[in-house]
Amino acid sequence: MAASSSDSDALADRLDRCEAALGYRFRDRALLELCLTHASVARTRLASNERLEFLGDAVLGLVVCEMLFRLYPEFSEGELTRVKSVLVSRTTCAELSRRLGLDRLLLVGKGLGGADRIPTSILGAVFESLIAGVYLDGGLEPARILIERVVDEELERAAARDRGRNFKSVLQHLAQKRFGETPGYRLLDEQGPDHSKCFLIAAVIGETTYPAAWGASKKEAEQAAAQNALTDLGEDARGDEE
């Protein structure tokens, strides 16, 4: 009986630490336990987190797609797809699991060894399972909050790798994150004949107009204006690659 009580206390502590890592408290603790249960330790496969992994993958994809659509309006469909594929990949999900410390909270069979030897596929799956658990326990909003908090850094990195020097995209993300505003671009002047015009454009965020820049096209001037705004805001203005 003492051993059973000890096991129960150990499980409760594991669940507490998982909730702390997620920043979410489950109403249904049995659901949280199921999220952490790998097939290697479950009575049957249906008593493991495999079905939850299936649902969590869909919820993760939805929220990531919405984030990318909202934060990077300059990205084409192909660019959005490429960045999404990085963020929802098993490798990224496994890395996020490690950062949250889930590798030490999983319920797995002894044959899988210690936390440092748990396969990437299993670590990625538990992250998706827990997203599904939060979604089922509290709805889409807490699942969205969890995903946005955890993937934000990876999203910025993946977007930067994909686009290289797109200052407008960098400024868009920064403005949304820091001010809750979408940058606009104001045409201040244009000079030259119709076949060879130059444009003076300034980036505007809220009521603030940032240093203007000239360009041989409106697109070029907007990129330069976005770079000026990033510099003025004290950000690294190296930008993303077009």
Active site residues: 57, 128
**Tokens linked to 84:** 């999404």
User: What does the H/E/C string look like for 119-186?
Assistant: CHHHHHHHHHHHHHHHHHHHCHHHHHHHHHHHHHHHHHHHHHHHHCCCHHHHHHHHHHHHHCCCCEEE
What is d(CA 169, CA 71) in angstroms, rounded to the nearest whole number? 8
State residue 53 phi and psi, 5-degree precision: -60, -40
Q: CA distances (Å), 145 to each of 55, 70, 129, 142, in order?
A: 17, 15, 16, 5
**Tokens linked to 134:** 């939060």
239 in Cβ contact with 167 (< 8 Å): yes
What is d(CA 38, CA 52) in angstroms, rounded to the nearest whole number? 11
